[in-house]
Chain A
Amino acid sequence: MKPCRTMLYIPGDSPGMIQHAPVFGADSILLDLEDAVALTEKDAARKMVACYLKDYDFKDLIVTVRVNGADTEFFDDDLKEIIPCVPAAIRIPKCNGPEDVLAADKKIEEIEKSNSIPVGKVRIHAMIETAVGVENAFFIASACPRVQALTLGGQDLTADMGVQKTKEGWELFYARSRVVVAARAAGVDVYDTVWADISDKEGLLKECRSIVGLGFTGKAAIHPDQIETIHQAFMPNEKEFRKALRIMEAAENAKKEGKGVISVDGKMVDAPVVARARHLLELADLYGFERSGS
C-alpha cells in the first residue's frame, strides 16, 4: 500500500465535501459518522456514506469511515450499513484495551461472512483517546490482524487527562511517543491527531515536523488547506533520498550475490535500515523524485 501521509476528515452528512474528496489532494479520507454529525442526522449520514461507498468513484483515494463508539446506540447500525460497502478501514473511537478491538473484530467478521466479503478485508484503525488507551496501546495494536493503524485523538485525550491542549503539544509528548512505539512494535501504521487552528499553517508545519521525527506515518487533517503543509513535512530531503537509493541498490546486489550483510558509505546496513530506505523511496515517489543518476 502506498504511504498515507494525510487523512482528511469529511463529515458524513456533507455530500458537497464527499463528492469533491478526490480533488483535495489527500492520500486518504475519513468519512465521519461520529463527532462531525448531529445526533438527529446520524441515520442520514450513515445512509449518505453507504451510498457514496457503493456508487462513487473516489479514484485512488483510500477511504475509511469513523463510526460512532461501541458505547453508543449507533455503533451496531453503523457497522451493519457500512461494512457491506467495504471501506478500506473502520475507525473505532475510544479503544481502551484489546477487548474493545476484539469485540469490534467479531462483529465485523460476522457482517463480512454474511455478505460474502473475505474475512479481514475491512481493517480497523483503533483510536487512542484516553489515558488507559495510551497505556494499553501495544495490546490494542496487536489485538488482532485486522488492526492496520493506531490513531491518536488529542482533544479527547487531553480532556481525559484534565489538561489543556496547547500548540506546543508537550501535554501529548508522552502519549505520542508511547503510541508510536506501540504501533511500530506491532507493525502497524500510526496517525497523529488534528491541528485545530486552520489559519496557523506555521504552527501546523512545526507540529508535523515534530511528529514525523517521532515516527508517525501520517496525520489527520480537518481542512483541505492543511494537506499541502502536512505533505511538506513528510517530504524526504535530497540527501536522505540519495542514501536510500544507495542502500536499496546495495541490498539488491547483496541479495543477488547471496550476501547477508551489506555496508553503505562505510556503515553496516541491516534489515530495518533497508525497510526504512524502501519506505522513504515510496514516499519520494509521491513527490516525483527522479531515481536515475544516483
Chain B
Amino acid sequence: MILLNTASAGTLESSDCLVTVSPAEKLKLEYKGANSEVFAERTMQLVESVSKKCCLSGAEISIQDQGALEITIKARLETALIRAVKGVAKE
C-alpha cells in the first residue's frame, strides 16, 4: 500500500479518536490524548500490526485519542489509510 494523500477519519467525540495519515518514508506515530502515556505501547503495537497487514512501508500517523477502544482506533486507522490510497492500486 502506498499513501498518496493526507487523509483523516474519526471525530473528537468521547470514546472516539481522530486519525490522520500522510505519506512518509518510514512509520512515525504521534499519539496524543489524556491517557496517551498509559496506552502508548498498545497503540504502537496496533499501528504496526495494521501497517503490516496493509503492507504499508511508511506513513506519518497522528492519533488524537478521546478514550477510544482499540477496536475503534483500528477502524479509524484502516479508514484513514484506505482514504489516503484512494484511486491507487494497492501493492
* With contact pairs A52-B71, A55-B71 given, residues A15 and B16 touching in the complex (Cβ less than 8 Å): yes
Please tell me if the beta carbons of A19 and B78 are within 8 angstroms of each other in the complex.
no
Please tell me if the beta carbons of B75 and A47 are within 8 angstroms of each other in the complex.
yes
In the complex, chain A residues whose CB is within 8 Å of the CB of B72:
15, 19, 48, 51
In the complex, chain A residues whose CB is within 8 Å of the CB of B74:
51, 55
Please tell me if the beta carbons of A16 and B13 are within 8 angstroms of each other in the complex.
yes
Nearest CB in chain A: distance from B85 CB, A: 12
**For this complex, into which size category does the number of interface residues on chain A fall?**
10 to 19
Q: How far is the CA of A55 from the CA of B50 in the complex (A)?
A: 14
Please tell me if the beta carbons of B15 and A19 are within 8 angstroms of each other in the complex.
yes
In the complex, chain A residues whose CB is within 8 Å of the CB of B63:
none
Q: Chain A binding site: helix, strand, loop or mixed by DSSP?
A: helix
* With contact pairs A15-B68, A51-B71, A55-B71 given, residues A44 and B10 touching in the complex (Cβ less than 8 Å): yes
Nearest CB in chain A: distance from B69 CB, A: 6
Q: Does A43 contact B (CB under 8 A)?
A: yes
Please tell me if the beta carbons of B16 and A51 are within 8 angstroms of each other in the complex.
no
- Selected from A16, A43, A44, the residue in CB contact (under 8 A) with B15 is A16
Residue of B nearest to A54 (CB): B71
Q: Does A174 contact B (CB under 8 A)?
A: no
* With contact pairs A15-B15, A19-B69 given, residues A43 and B75 touching in the complex (Cβ less than 8 Å): no
In the complex, chain A residues whose CB is within 8 Å of the CB of B13:
16
Q: How far is the CA of A43 from the CA of B15 in the complex (A)?
A: 19
Residues of B whose CB lies within 8 Å of any CB of A are 9-10, 13-16, 68-69, 71-72, 74-76, 78-79, 82-83
Q: Top 6 closest A-B pairs, CB basis?
A: A16-B15, A51-B75, A15-B72, A48-B75, A44-B79, A47-B79
9 additional A-B pairs beyond A19-B72, A44-B10, beta carbons within 8 Å, are A15-B69, A15-B71, A15-B75, A16-B13, A44-B79, A51-B72, A51-B74, A51-B75, A52-B71
28 chain-A/chain-B pairs, Cβ below 8 angstroms: A15-B16, A15-B68, A15-B69, A15-B72, A15-B75, A16-B13, A16-B14, A19-B15, A19-B69, A19-B72, A43-B82, A44-B75, A44-B79, A47-B75, A47-B78, A47-B79, A47-B82, A48-B72, A48-B75, A48-B76, A48-B79, A50-B75, A51-B71, A51-B74, A51-B75, A52-B71, A55-B71, A56-B69
